[in-house]
Amino acid sequence: MKFKILAGLAILALLSACGEQAANTDGAQNPVKAQTFKWKLVTSWPKNFPGLGTGPEKFAKLVDEMSDGRLKIKVYGAGQLVPALEVFDAVSRGTAQMGHSGAYYWKGKAPAAQFFTSVPFGLNAQEMHGWIHYGGGMELWQELYAPFNLIPLAGGNTGVQMGGWFNKEINSLDDLKGLKMRIPGLGGEVLERAGGTPVTLPGGELFTALQTGAIDATEWVGPYNDLAFGLYKAAKFYYYPGWHEPGSMLEFMVNKTAFDKLPKDLQAIVRTASRATNQDMLDEYTARNNHALKELVEKHGVQLRAYPDDVLLKLRDLSDDVLADVASKDPMTQKVYESFKAYKQNVMEYHSLTEQAFLNARNK
């Protein structure tokens, strides 16, 4: 009898141990500590710069919260770990696992990259997001970046930008001839076709370059960011609209090797957080630009000017020529260009009956 009792107690103890082991396995009672990851994210913007710089910070915080601390991302401003215009190479070779920048900075490495930031007289923010996520743009972008071991993600949008800061009025296309202007990407190629000299500079160098005369004019983003840089102290004429960047989309780029090491749920968190950041940045610029423009004009005496219609028409014609020429020199760029052009035509036809028609009616 004693043996039976002892045997029964042993069986109960064994069953209890198995139950505890099962609980540990499914994580219901005593979960095994999950693996954690620490990433670096390098950017092309000054640390915590409004909009552009705070977007990656919000992204990192969101990833931390969604992953319950399993993926920690430290954000570096331009120059803190790598120079502003070396973000692409740093992420490609794995110096950092992520980057945040503008794709048009990499036209020397992949000419088609310019289409994934903004195209002169191209898509606005709403249309750009549609092409990227539902019009075939993302698939082309992924194909373009794959040889560099990079995964691209939409990382914010500024909306239609302003046309730039000048120390003289622009009354005709001749006023652009000989003008040395900071304007990157396809917009810079259009300026060159108009007789100007495009210059690519990171944001942190703009004020000094404009103030010292190293450049004659500059575009940056819009009132929210231009006010933060104090560009009104170096130039007095502020032109609109931003024909060169009608819907400038920023990018997150991820080192594919690092991304593949993440479990599936953390991969999903990175993708979801980037989509949230993409929309949040556009929301912020839409709200902040209004107040910043009022301050520039009413407090700082900035002279707001519209580009003359004939100048815009000539720039648009030059843009068409530039796009066709750029596309013809590279098969991948031609592929991206054809997709972009077809989507633009379709969305223009629809928006002429909806967005544009409504704005025309509202603003009469």
Query: Would you kindly state where each structural domain of the chain is located, as residue ranges?
Result: 37-158+247-286, 164-244+301-362
* pLDDT score recorded for residue 3: 40
Residue 38: DSSP 8-state: E
> Do the strands 197-199 and 180-182 form a parallel or antiparallel pair, or are they unpaired?
parallel
Rounded to 10 degrees, the C-alpha dihedral 109/328/103/286 comes to 170
Question: What is the C-alpha to C-alpha distance for residues 120 and 319, in angstroms, rounded to an integer?
Answer: 6
b/e string for 73-96 if b means 16 or more Cβ within 10 A? Answer: bebbbbbebbebbbbbebbbeebb
Query: Angle, to 10 degrees, between the axis of helix 309-328 and the axis of helix 331-353?
Result: 140
* pLDDT score recorded for residue 214: 97
pLDDT averaged over 10-residue windows placed end to end, the chain, 364 residues: 44 46 45 84 97 98 98 98 98 98 97 98 98 98 98 98 97 97 97 97 95 97 97 97 98 98 98 98 98 98 98 98 96 98 98 97 95
Which tokens sit at 145? 């970046």
Lookup result for tokens 């993708």: 271
Could you tell me the end-to-end alpha-carbon distance of the chain, in angstroms, rounded to an integer?
99
CA 198 to chain centre: 21
Are 180 and 197 a contacting pair, CB within 8 Å?
A: yes
Q: Looking at domain 37-158+247-286, does it have CATH number 3.40.190.170?
A: yes
Are 46 and 100 a contacting pair, CB within 8 Å?
A: no
pTM of model > 0.75: yes
* pLDDT score recorded for residue 33: 67
Per CATH, 37-158+247-286 and 164-244+301-362 having the same topology is answered: yes
Apex 201 CA angle, 196 and 206, nearest 5: 95
Peptide bond into 263 cis (omega under 30): no
* pLDDT score recorded for residue 32: 52
Fold for domain 164-244+301-362? D-Maltodextrin-Binding Protein; domain 2 (3.40.190)
Residue 334: DSSP 8-state: H
